Every structure is written in structure tokens, then in C-alpha cells.
Chain A
Amino acid sequence: MQKTTSPRPLSRSLILSIVIGILLIVVSSMVPAGVFTWLWDKLNIFATVFLGIFIEAIPYLLLGTLASGLVEVFLDRDQMSKWISHRPVAAAVGGAFMGMIFPVCECGVVPLTRRLFNKGLPLSAGISFLLAAPVLNPIVVLSTAAAFGWGNMLFWRMGVSLVIAIVVGLVFSVERDPSNVLRPVLTLSHEHDHPREAHTSFIEKIRQALLITADEFFEMGRYLILGAMLAAALQTFIAQSSLLSIGSGPVLSVLVMLGLAILLSICSTVDAFVALGFMGTFSFGSVLSFLVFGPMVDIKSIIMYSQVFRRRSVTYLVAIPFMMSLLAGVIFNYLQP
């Protein structure tokens, strides 16, 4: 009995798969051929846009994770607490200005900030740093100046971003217990978590830093890839023009630019050149809001934030900069329409 029944499920599934196969062929032959070229075209657009975002972001992600690795190996907890004030306002302001020296964009800043939290950086300072660094760092300043010149746009971009970063940092300083904001770090157990011997050689330290860099590249790369896939899929199926046609009023145009900042998900180090393209159709305030909000929040950074922060904190990290960028954009639109 056993022998005769055992092959049965196999043959049944074989028949089933043949039937499905035939059905697929019949159905696909009835579908107009245009559908397949349409699908193939869409797949090609998706692949090109996805690889575009990904290839563009890789060097920056590598730099960010390298910075994180170096911080882990070369920075002591004691040193950190000596440098950074624990008073909320001072910490938030300090964190925001710390962004001026680290050349990281929004992909690289996430692993670096998590590492700094690990080293005992106060919440408010870390949050301000997280939001400010992608705008205030030297590379972005230079690229913005290259696109818009050393003028109003650069000044207000930095100013408004600084204010938003500090305000959000202060909001988070209300929370005394970091574990309510941060997700527990599970994956950071490395060999080097052993109490470090005092006399590790420089080469050995570099080796450890590179190991951390690689681990974090994978860990953060995962969210970068997810975000890039989502952004590419949206761009493949949602027409940009439908977003642009929503409105051009002083409020609506800002909303459109904020939506575009989220959708495009381009790196903050180069977004100034993209924003330049909108100057003709959009007002100063709307483009400013794009330049302020884009580096703080877009599809890939939301997904990367959700790796480091608890869900409620991610909501704050997205909502407060959104409101404030909107406000700033609308104010500028009314001041200089």
C-alpha cells in the first residue's frame, strides 16, 4: 500500500504543474504582445533607476560606515562624554554643528549616528547631528554653492536646516531613557566587544575598523537597497508630471516639492543640481523646502531610520521636519512670491 500511494502526490503535482504551464501559455498567447514589451520596458526603467540610486549612494555609504568603524575603534566613551555637554540645548546645538565636520550624507549618517549613540552621545545631540549633517557638511555646502552660488539659497538652506535639526533634537531631549527611542542593537556583537587591550597596534585597530565597516555596509546596505527599490518602483509607475500638476499655489507648490523630495530619494550631496532644474517652475521658497527636507527625509532614509529608531520616533523624525520645512517654504513664498 505504502509503495503505491507514495508516488501519487508527486504525479498529481506534476499534472497540476503541466496544466498550469499550459494555461499560462494559452493565457499569455491571448494577452496582446504589447503587454510584454510594456512590462519589459518597465523592468528596464526600474533596473536603471534602481542601479542609478544604488551606484550613486555606494561610495557615500562606504564613507559613512568607515567613519562609524573608525569612531568605534578610536573614540573612547570617556572622551565622548568629556566633549559633549549633557545639557539638552547645548547638546542639541553641539550635535547640529558637529554635522559641519563629518562629510556624510543621509545614507552614511545613519550608521555613524547609531555608533555615536553607542558611545554615549546624548539623544538630543545625536538627533540634531543626524538631521543636520547631511546638509551642513562641507561637500554639500560646496555642491550647493556650485549650483546656486554663494548666496541666499545656500545661506537659508543651511540656516533653516540648522534650526529644524536643533528643534527636533530638543524635542527628543524630553525623553530621558534612550531605549524608548532607539531600537535595541542586536547585531553589533563583534569580536572587539571584548575589553580592548591598551596596546592594540594601529594596524590591528584599522583591521577592526574595516571589519565593522563591512558588517555595517551590509546591514545598512540592506535598507538602502529596500529604499532604492521602492523609490525606483514608484518612479517607474507614478508619473512625475502628475505630482507637478497638483498645484502651484504658495502652499501646494511647497507640498509638491516636499513630495518630490521623498519620491526622488537622491543623495543630499548632489540634490542641489536637481533642485536647480526646478527653479524655473517653482518659487524660491518651494525649492528651499525641497533642499531642506530632502536630506532629512526620503524613502531610503525613512527605511534606514526604522532600523535604528523605534517606530514612534521615526514618526517624529519625519513629521516634525515635514511641518517645519512646509512652514519655512510657505513663509518664504509669502515674503518673496
Chain B
Amino acid sequence: MQKRLYRSLQALLLLGMCILLASKAASGQLTYYINQRFIPLTIFGIIFLALLAQTMFAEIKRARQNTANDEHHHEHDHAPASANLWFMLVPLLIGVLIPARPLDSSAFATKGFNTNSPLVSADSSAQLFETDSEERNILDWIKLFNFETDLAQFEGQKASVIGFVYFDESLGKNQFFVSRFVVSCCAADGFAIAMVGEWPQASTLKQDSWVLVKGTIKSITINDQTVPLILAESVQAVPAPEQPYLFP
């Protein structure tokens, strides 16, 4: 492949990558893939890709002027393998062609699904006690039930959580899981956690639909594990949250 063609393709691919990432960032879809705390790094990446693309375009222009001015310009530069370029096309195509979809219950089989996630965090559960019980998300409840020995204190507390519906054989009648994926770094380390919901009309809910569950906390035992259950007073369909995952 000619050096100039190689440079042009490089410039286009860099620009394409930059635009793909920028559009994901603009549409808020970056959190489908990575923990929000790394978004500033991706923004840096976008700017840097733009800078590199600009350098490439300038280089093409310069090379053209050089060959015009400099007759004995030796064309001995071998362009690197063109396979490098084809590979860079892969993420571009995947990013453009496959519609962005966050992890959902179809990934439970391989990514794991927990009702008592072994999550420990440097910030202990102490501050979770201070948060209003209705402010706690699914992860907070799972953490509390995982840490605390005296679970009776939570019974009867008000809860209000958002998650997607998942039905499983381990559950009783009128019960469903309300679930979220937890992502520490990127989707590669994501795994699902869930609380149990109990609601008379549970059978009307659709698998994977997003719901806001309001009710009171009770603890039940599934597979020898004590897990939080919400006795739902209301289960209401909500649009998928902008950030589909919880970030510990």
C-alpha cells in the first residue's frame, strides 16, 4: 500500500473513531460501556484522537507539497502492514452497526446473578445507615443485608428502587426480581444484583421491563441466603434510566 493512501486511511479512521466516541459521549451512551468515573478519560481520548487525525491530515498535505517541490524525494518508506487498518475498522463497525444495548437479563447466564453480592467497599455501610431508606438503591440494600447481622432493624423500612424485572424459578408466586447490573470498570466486569419484589399483580410484569418498586422491606431466605424483599405497594413502569448500571 502506498504511504500516502495509508496515511489518508489512518486519518479517516482516527477521525471516525473520534466521531464514534464523541457521539456515544454526547448521547450519554458511554455509561452503557464504562463506569461514569472514567468518562473524563474518554473525553481526553476523543480530543487526542482529533489531534492525531489533524496531524495526519497536515502530514498528507505536507507530503504532497514536498513531492511537488523536492524532485529527488526518495520514496523508500514502507508503509506498515495494512492489516492494522482493517482491525481498527472492527470497533467502528461494531459501534455503528450493532445498536447500543446495555447488559440485561440475557447476560445473566454468563455474567452472574446475585442476591447477596459479596461487595465490600472502602466506604463502609455506616454511611448507608444515615441515608434515607427511600434513597437507597438496590446495591445499597444488598450491601446492608450483606454486612449487617441484625437484619430485623430493616424490616418495615420504606424502600423505593428502580430496576428491571426478572422472573426465576426459585421465586414463589407473585414474586419477581428487580435487578441492576453493577459495573466497577467497564461492561467486562459487570454482574447483576437483585432484590425480590412481591406484588399481587406480578404476573402482569414483563421480563426486562424497567420498574419503580415502592413498598416496605422484609427479609426472606432463598437458597440459604437472607435477602431483602420489597412488599410492593406500587410497581410502576418507568423508562430505562440514563445510566443503566450502578457504580459501586
Interface set of A (CB-CB < 8 Å, partner B)? 41-45, 47-56, 58-60, 62, 66, 146-149, 187, 189-191, 207, 210-211, 213-215, 217-219, 221-222, 225-226, 229, 231-232, 235-241, 244, 264-267, 270-271, 273-274, 276-281
Q: Which residues of B contact A62 (CB under 8 A)?
A: 45, 48-49, 52
For residue B154, give the distance in angstroms from its CB to the closest CB of chain A.
19
Quick check: is B188 within 8 A (CB to CB) of the other chain? Answer: yes
- The listed residue (A66, A189, A219) touching B77 by CB distance below 8 A is A189
- From A210, which residue of chain B is reached at the shortest CB distance? B55
Q: Which residues of A contact B95 (CB under 8 A)?
A: 51
Quick check: is B83 within 8 A (CB to CB) of the other chain? Answer: yes
Quick check: is B51 within 8 A (CB to CB) of the other chain? Answer: yes
Asked, given contacts A50-B91, A51-B33, A218-B84, whether A236 binds B186 with beta carbons under 8 Å apart, the answer is no
Taking a contact as CB atoms under 8 Å apart, the answer to whether B109 and A239 are in contact is yes
Contacts A210-B52, A264-B189 aside, 11 further interface pairs with beta carbons under 8 A come to: A44-B106, A45-B103, A51-B95, A55-B21, A55-B30, A60-B41, A217-B14, A218-B85, A244-B112, A277-B118, A281-B118
Taking a contact as CB atoms under 8 Å apart, the answer to whether B10 and A44 are in contact is no
Quick check: is B158 within 8 A (CB to CB) of the other chain? Answer: no
Asked, given contacts A44-B106, A218-B84, A229-B90, whether A51 binds B187 with beta carbons under 8 Å apart, the answer is yes
Taking a contact as CB atoms under 8 Å apart, the answer to whether A239 and B122 are in contact is no
What 10 pairs between A and B have smallest CB-CB spacing? A280-B118, A52-B187, A52-B186, A41-B106, A59-B45, A222-B87, A273-B184, A270-B185, A187-B80, A56-B186
Q: Which residues of A contact B81 (CB under 8 A)?
A: 187
Taking a contact as CB atoms under 8 Å apart, the answer to whether B33 and A55 are in contact is yes
Q: Which residues of A contact B196 (CB under 8 A)?
A: none
Taking a contact as CB atoms under 8 Å apart, the answer to whether B87 and A48 are in contact is no
Quick check: is B59 within 8 A (CB to CB) of the other chain? Answer: yes
Q: Which residues of A contact B191 (CB under 8 A)?
A: 240, 277
- From B30, which residue of chain A is reached at the shortest CB distance? A55
Q: Which residues of A contact B51 (CB under 8 A)?
A: 210
For residue B1, give the distance in angstroms from its CB to the closest CB of chain A.
12
Quick check: is B237 within 8 A (CB to CB) of the other chain? Answer: no
Taking a contact as CB atoms under 8 Å apart, the answer to whether A218 and B10 are in contact is yes
Q: Once bound together, how far apart are the Cα atoms of A55 and B85, in whole Å?
A: 18
Q: Which residues of B contact A187 (CB under 8 A)?
A: 78, 80-81
Taking a contact as CB atoms under 8 Å apart, the answer to whether B33 and A278 are in contact is no
Of the A-B pairs whose beta carbons lie under 8 Å apart in the complex, a sample of 17, sorted by A's number, is A45-B106, A45-B111, A47-B101, A48-B187, A52-B190, A53-B186, A56-B185, A58-B21, A187-B78, A187-B80, A214-B56, A217-B52, A235-B110, A265-B188, A266-B189, A267-B185, A274-B189
Q: Once bound together, how far apart are the Cα atoms of A233 and B59, in whole Å?
A: 38
Chain B 84-113: CB-based contact to A (< 8 A → 1; otherwise 0): 110110110011001111110011011110
In chain B, positions 142-196 with a C-beta closer than 8 Å to chain A are 146, 182, 184-191
Chain B 203-242: CB-based contact to A (< 8 A → 1; otherwise 0): 0000000000000000000000000000000000000000
Taking a contact as CB atoms under 8 Å apart, the answer to whether B42 and A58 are in contact is yes
Q: Which residues of B contact A215 (CB under 8 A)?
A: 10, 80
For residue B148, give the distance in angstroms from its CB to the closest CB of chain A.
14
Taking a contact as CB atoms under 8 Å apart, the answer to whether B188 and A239 are in contact is no
- The listed residue (B34, B107, B182) touching A55 by CB distance below 8 A is B34
Quick check: is B120 within 8 A (CB to CB) of the other chain? Answer: yes
Q: Once bound together, how far apart are the Cα atoms of A219 and B79, in whole Å?
A: 12
Quick check: is B119 within 8 A (CB to CB) of the other chain? Answer: yes
Taking a contact as CB atoms under 8 Å apart, the answer to whether A277 and B184 are in contact is yes
Q: Which residues of B contact A52 (CB under 8 A)?
A: 33-34, 186-188, 190
Q: Which residues of B contact A149 (CB under 8 A)?
A: 122
Quick check: is B129 within 8 A (CB to CB) of the other chain? Answer: no
- The listed residue (A47, A148, A239) touching B112 by CB distance below 8 A is A239
Taking a contact as CB atoms under 8 Å apart, the answer to whether B184 and A48 are in contact is no
Taking a contact as CB atoms under 8 Å apart, the answer to whether A147 and B122 are in contact is yes
For residue B113, give the distance in angstroms from its CB to the closest CB of chain A.
8
With a 10 A CB-CB cut-off, give which of B34, B120, B188 has the most chain A CB atoms.
Answer: B188
Q: Which residues of A contact B101 (CB under 8 A)?
A: 44, 47-48
